[in-house]
């Protein structure tokens, strides 16, 4: 997966694409600069990574 920063009218937005360039997620707002859209994409990626670690379950004991 990878992000693209795209022009959205007079503003910028981020789009998350899979390996076949299908849209997985996109920003729900636009930003005044490409740098701000890029920073928002990075923040989104960090939140997804943090959520992934929160969902990971580590065994605390034996099953039997």
Query: In tens digits, what is the pLDDT along the chain, a chain of 64 residues?
Result: 899 999 988 999 999 999 999 999 999 999 999 999 999 999 999 999 998 888 776 667 666 6
Query: How do the domains of the chain map onto residue ranges?
Result: 2-50
User: How far apart are alpha carbons 22 and 57 in whole angstroms?
Assistant: 30
In this prediction, residue 63 carries a pLDDT of: 60
User: How far apart are alpha carbons 24 and 54 in whole angstroms?
Assistant: 21
CATH architecture group of domain 2-50 = 2-Layer Sandwich (3.30)
In this prediction, residue 54 carries a pLDDT of: 81
In this prediction, residue 55 carries a pLDDT of: 79
For residue 23, give the nearest of 6, 11, 39, 38 by alpha carbon: 6
């Amino acid at each position: 997966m990878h992000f693209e920063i795209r022009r959205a009218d007079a503003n910028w937005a981020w789009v998350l694409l899979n390996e076949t360039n299908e849209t997985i997620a996109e920003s729900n707002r636009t930003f005044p600069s490409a740098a701000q859209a890029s920073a928002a994409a990075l923040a989104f990626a960090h939140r997804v990574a943090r959520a992934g670690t929160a969902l990971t379950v580590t065994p605390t004991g034996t099953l039997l």
